Each structure stands twice: as structure tokens, then as C-alpha cells.
Amino acid sequence: MSQLYIGGLLSGIVLSVAVQMIVQSQLLSFRRSRPSKNQVPAKTMLRHLSVNDNFKAFMESGGNLKGYASSAAGTDALFSQICAELTLSTQSLSMIVAAMVKSFKAGLAEDGQGLPMIPSHVVNRPNGTETGTVLALDLGGSNFRVCLVTMNGNGGTRMVQRKYVISHDLKNHTGLALFDFIAKCVAEFLDEQKDHLKLEGLKVKRESSDLSKSIKLGFTFSFPVKQTALDQGDLMYWNKGFSATGVVGVDVVKLLQNALDRNQINAHVTALVNDTVGTLISHAYTRPETHIGVIFGTGTNAAYVEKISEIGKWGGFNEGSDEMIVNTEWGAFNDADMPRSKYDILVDKNTSNHGIQIFEKMISGLYLGEIVRYILVDFVTDGELFDGKLSKKLATPYAFETAFMSRIERDHSADLLDVKQLLSDLLDINNTTSRDRMLIKHVCEIVGTRAARLSAAGIAAIVTKTNRLNGCIVAIDGSLFGQYPHFGSRMRDALREILGLNAENIILEQAHDGSGLGAALIAVTSSRD
């Protein structure tokens, strides 16, 4: 990019004139049509893409103003630029893998270096003999889950669960309000299950300080935590759209337990679990060869089985095992070898956690739709899409959801009629052409494919670090892997590019609701310590 910039360098005066011509060209394209009530003026739209972004695109096009004309050539020029910025070669993937392995090793050796690489304190795996009824709470995205898991001792489980929506306001309110909401949801759920609990000899309301009579609880908390014990961990920072106050730097187990106690709920938190750790454990319950657990959903993260001797910052002692599950927090990965487009930079710039979770912002379901939205706004700005008319909804941050991308990629009709319906119903964009819809689908394919290839690079990095090229099972949970078209096949293709024939030894398997069951299993196995 710097070479392109230098190669296209002009004098300050000429550049200033050129940029003005670009902006004026964009404004003129919008003045040709009077905005309807669902369209915003060009000046308002241009606030979403600064003059600097237009200038950068201008320089990358070699200073050719024809790239901004309303023509097929203009579309080709911008589309080619987007392809160049968002397409990852095999060489780029291999470089990312090497950089991630280096970051893994640095994080294992010392806190504050490389990735967090958080020791989970989970050393025992379930063996199928576990018995009892356990609560599992799962907080980590748009929904909060309460699960009641009963284990029969023969490898069988019974799970009843209920989901509750975490509102945007609650995500950004106080930690006290958030955890009180969680406790009230637990109380409501347990009241519904009181007959089953009675059969197990358990009560909903606490009547004694004797913890042996309380319900064991595994808490899946899918945010970066500095875990100091199996049942203790301080939140390092929020992500995934959360910013509740009074939680960062505080033990989240204590916050939850205090909220449960305030509501007189007869539950004792015995395990704090990251969702990736829970996914790994629950899948290993029936598939012992599972050594990696990954989430590709609202956010992304991975955990894997590591030799304790490799965890230099652990201090050299063990907990009765030579292995421990490590939570990588790979969403925080950021390296010069991971090329970021101007759209990635825009998305990051306008998030509450600007400058961190860069890998996550290029992969996860929370951000993919927003990347596409910025690209589409670029096309509209240049008059290459929707006749240069930007609907208010498309101008709204996060209005273009990743779920839209999934639906768009599923449309294989000749005229993309479902895409037409989606644009009309959900984004107030009517009278689209076949060319408009095909362009949008191609953009979704580019962004979705890059996410899958980056995801594969992360898995390849763990496999390489742990020297499991001869075979392992990767348990994957989350809506992207399970529901986004071709995400899994694109990952497998990328793994073949990176690992060659060894890729056939790496088995990617769908894990369903593993974080809830995993937390319950860990809560039970903790009693064997």
C-alpha cells in the first residue's frame, strides 16, 4: 500500500484539487435525485467515510478520477480494490499462522506478552461416571442461558435450559444491574424446575449456610478474564458490545455469588469457565480425541489442551496433571502480517473497544455485517449502487446484520429475488437492479470467505503449536460455523492450503450448546480435585 501511495504521490496543490473533485463528484451524483424520506443527503452520508478515506482510495486507484465515475469501469475499479484488500493468499495465511504461533508462545511464557493465553485451571476431564444435578449459566453474547443438567453416571445427561435476552441498555448499565438481572433470571428458572429439584433433594431458596446442601453452579463467562483459581477470575476488559461499569478488574464469580445471595438463591459457584473451554470439555465427553474448542459466533475465541511444561508463566507446579486447557483469547491477535483493509480500520475506529480485539473484528458475527455495510456505502458514494441513493437504514451503523449476509449467500435464484425482498423489507431499499443485487452478493462472499480463511489460520496455528498434525478433533460452536453458508467448507479449503495433506487429519466437528454442558461438567469434576 505504501508503494502505491508513493508511486501515486503528487504535489500538495494537485492532491488538494483532486480530492475536492472527488467530493464534488460524489455530491453531484446525489443532487441528481431528490432524496426521498428514506434517503439521506450526500453530505450526511459522507460523514461515514471521511475525506481521508476517499483520498486513500483515490491514491490506490493511481490518481485516476475515472474510478469515481458512474460507469461499469468505475464499479470494476472499486470492486478490484476491495478484492485486493480483502483477499488472503496462501502465503498471507501461512505468515499469519507463524505470527500467531509466535504470539501463543510469548503469551504462555509471560503475562503482557503476545496473546493472553489464560490458564483455565481445568485439568480434569469428565469420564462419564459423574452424577448429580448442576446449574450452568452462560453469559457471552446477545443471550444469557440458564441450564439445569442432570448426570446419571453412565455417560448420559439430561439438560433443561432457557434463554433470556440481554438488552443493549443492560450491557452498558452498571455491573450491579447486570448481575442482579442474571440472578433474577436464575430464580425464575429454578422456580419452574422446583419439582425436579425436589426429587433430587435440592431447594431453590437458601435455608442454610451449609454449601454442601446448595446447587453447584458452573459459570460460563465468555470474556477475557485473568483467572487465578477455578472459581475466581477478574475481568480484564469487556468486548462483544458490553461495557457495564464496575466489573473490569473485579472477580466476576464474587459479583455473581453476591447477586445470588441477595436473591436468596440456593446455588454455589464452583467453576468459572470460558465458553471455548466448556465447548472443548463437553465435546470431549463423547469424543475423547477433542483437543481444541472454538467459538465462531457473536465473537470468536479458542481453547486447547496444552502441556503444563509449556506454560512458563504457570510457575512450574501442576495440579495433579501434566496438561491443562488454555484459553487463548485469540480475538485480541493483531500483527503486521495480518493485512487490514480500510473497512476494518473504520469498523474498529467506531467501536467502544477501539484498538483491541482486531482479529475478532475481522471474523465474528458482530462485525462482518458492518464491514459489508461500509463497502456498500462506498459503492453508493461513488454512484455505483442504488443509483447513488443511500437509505437511512443503510447509513445506520450495524443496520446491515451478518444474518443478512447469510441469507444473501443462500439465494441462488437467477435474479436473486430473495435478496431483492431482503433489501426492500429490512433496509428500505426498493427498485434494485439485478446488477445491484449481484454486486451485494459478491461483496458478502468476499467478506465471508476472508472470515473463514482467517478462522482456519487460527486453527492451523494451534495445531502447529501443539504438534498435532497427525490428528485431532476441533469442536466448533457458534452461528457462523453452524449456519453461515459455506463457512465450514471454506475453512477446510484454507486448511488444505496451509497444512497440505496433514489437513485431512484435522477433523472439524459441530458442537451444539457445548458451553452450558461443559460448565456443568467442570463444576462436577472440580469436586474430584
Question: Quick check: 98 and 457 in contact, CB under 8 A?
Answer: no
User: What does the pLDDT read at residue 521?
Assistant: 92
User: What does the pLDDT read at residue 446?
Assistant: 97
Q: Please identify every residue annotated as catalytic.
A: 145, 222, 275
Question: Quick check: 244 and 171 in contact, CB under 8 A?
Answer: yes
User: What does the pLDDT read at residue 316?
Assistant: 55
**Rounded Cα gap, residues 278 and 134, in angstroms:** 14
User: What does the pLDDT read at residue 35?
Assistant: 35
Q: In the chain, what are the helix, strand and coil shares in percent, each to the nearest 5?
A: 50, 15, 30
**Rounded Cα gap, residues 493 and 455, in angstroms:** 11
User: What does the pLDDT read at residue 33?
Assistant: 33
452 Cβ contact list (under 8 Å, min separation 6): 486, 487, 488, 490, 491, 494
- CA distances from residue 465 to 90, 98, 102 in whole angstroms, order as listed: 19, 9, 9
**Rounded Cα gap, residues 476 and 458, in angstroms:** 13
pTM attached to this predicted model: 0.79
pLDDT mean for each 10 residues of the chain (529 residues): 36 36 36 36 31 36 32 69 93 97 97 93 84 90 88 86 93 96 94 83 69 84 89 91 94 97 93 93 90 94 96 75 94 89 96 92 97 97 94 97 98 96 97 95 97 98 98 95 95 98 98 86 75
Question: Quick check: 156 and 201 in contact, CB under 8 A?
Answer: no
User: What does the pLDDT read at residue 319?
Assistant: 61
User: What does the pLDDT read at residue 122?
Assistant: 92
Give the helix ranges, DSSP H, for 322-364.
Answer: 342-349, 358-363
User: What does the pLDDT read at residue 402?
Assistant: 98
User: What does the pLDDT read at residue 210?
Assistant: 58
| Domains located in the chain, CATH noted | 44-67+75-120+282-512 (3.40.367.20), 128-273 (3.30.420.40)
Task: Single out the residue of 509, 481, 499 nearest to residue 289, CA to CA.
Answer: 509
